[in-house]
Amino acid sequence: MHSQKWPARLGDSVRHLTERLQGDIGNPSAWNSILEELVLLFLNVFGGAESDLKEAEAFLVGLDNRLREIDEIIHHIQAIREDAEESGKDLQTGVDEEVGNVRRDGTEATDLDSFRELVSLHLNSIQARIEQHLQEERGHFLHTMQDTERVRDHMRSLEDEEQRLRGRLAEALILATTDKVTGLPNRTSYDRRIKEEYMRWKRFRRSLCLVAWDIDDFKRINDIFGHQTGDEVLRFIGRAFMSRLRETDFVARYGGEEFVMLMPGATLEQACAVAEEIRRGVCERPFSIGMKRVSITLSGGVSEFRNGDNSDAVFNRADKALYQAKQSGKNCCVADQGIQ
What positions carry a catalytic annotation? 257
**212: phi then psi, degrees, rounded to nearest 5:** -100, 125
* Residue burial 273-290, b: 16+ Cβ < 10 Å; e: rest: ebbeebbeebeeeebeee
For residue 48, give the amino acid letter. G
203-214 burial, b if ≥16 CB within 10 A, otherwise e?
eeeebbbbbbbb
Instruction: Give the type of residue at 316.
Output: N
User: How crowded is the C-beta side of 68, counted as CA atoms within 13 Å?
Assistant: 6
User: CA 12, CA 213: separation in Å to the nearest integer?
Assistant: 18
Q: Which helix (H) or strand (E) is 213 found in, with range?
A: strand 208-215
**CB-based contacts of 229: which residues, under 8 Å, 6+ apart?**
221, 222, 289
For residue 269, the number of C-alpha atoms closer than 13 Å in the C-beta half-sphere is 0
- Mark out the alpha helices in the chain (DSSP H runs): 11-24, 31-108, 112-177, 187-204, 218-225, 227-244, 268-284, 311-327
**334, 318 contact by CB (below 8 A):** no
Beta-sheet strand order (sheet of 298-304): 250-255, 258-264, 208-215, 298-304, 333-335
Contact 181, 234 (CB under 8 A): yes
